[in-house]
Structure 1
């Protein structure tokens, strides 16, 4: 009697990548970039070709997943020398990195920005680093958190603004209704061109410098 040959596992790597926390987060960013922050875990599981229950081995629910996404982005933002540089110098570099990092994933910004940080250690460490530098430099303790929130709010708004057309304040169809605004908008674009940058970037740099200078003066 002839028996069937024993089945052997194909050599080489498996066809599907092994599920991991990093792979789930990567897929979540990809989904959020197209669907926004209201995507579901079921949709994420479909994209990963797994059952939704498989995701719960890594994240208890969507809130924990969002926290993980925020933590990953926070690590990408980096330190920027708060331990050795004056807070107002380090925070300018931090704000630029924050805007670039979070701005790369605009679909999830609102969910990230409104989520408490109590269960997300990377963000807590990041804010603690900033608060420690401000306190070391003599910034009034009662003003530290408002100052951080003010800068972060500006950065998040700037990240979203970077998605808008550069002439979104330009009254194209009815310039006669706003001659001063029309002139100012044209001059802003001309100034950015002189600096060989974009209106959006020049606006961000101007606003960031003004905000930090104001916070320093207010202290």
Structure 2
């Protein structure tokens, strides 16, 4: 593989990953290398490597003599993923609270206001995007590279169920105060409170997932 091809590989993997998470490819849909190659203007060898990378992330499954397809994540597995995330996200919240500087605090406080505004306006799409941004900032503030890497892989696997949760009746009324509580604990630079608020939020996600059909 050339240096150029090597440098482009993570970008191709990212683009295919995003297409899967955005629902462009449905669960159990076969991923045909020739079609993906044409869609993303990439060589079939590069596509094959990207699919192998995504299989390692749990988003794609390889089929003997049949190529690859999008892996379907059951509700039961999604619950297990959230349970595993609890310890990692508590760790990140705890470290974010301990590491918070004044400039980052100002940005987090502004994000808090944006979340409240989105809820007040009934903007579910905006609210969901702001929640993702909050999660990203806390992971970044934690400075814990290993936890962040593991969390990104776990969150990608359960992304479809996270989307369903966002539109679950009454979910915003429950989750918004939980998110605000996490932000407030980090802003207070209280690691124990940040970890506890994070656990409470994730336990709520497990309860709602358990109720999904």
Larger-gyration structure (1/2): 1
TM-score by length of 2: 0.29
Write 1 or 2 for the structure with the bigger share of helix.
Answer: 2
Q: RCO higher in 1 or 2 (8 Å CA, sep ≥ 6)? A: 2
The structure with the largest strand share of the pair is: 2
TM-score, length-scaled by structure 1: 0.28
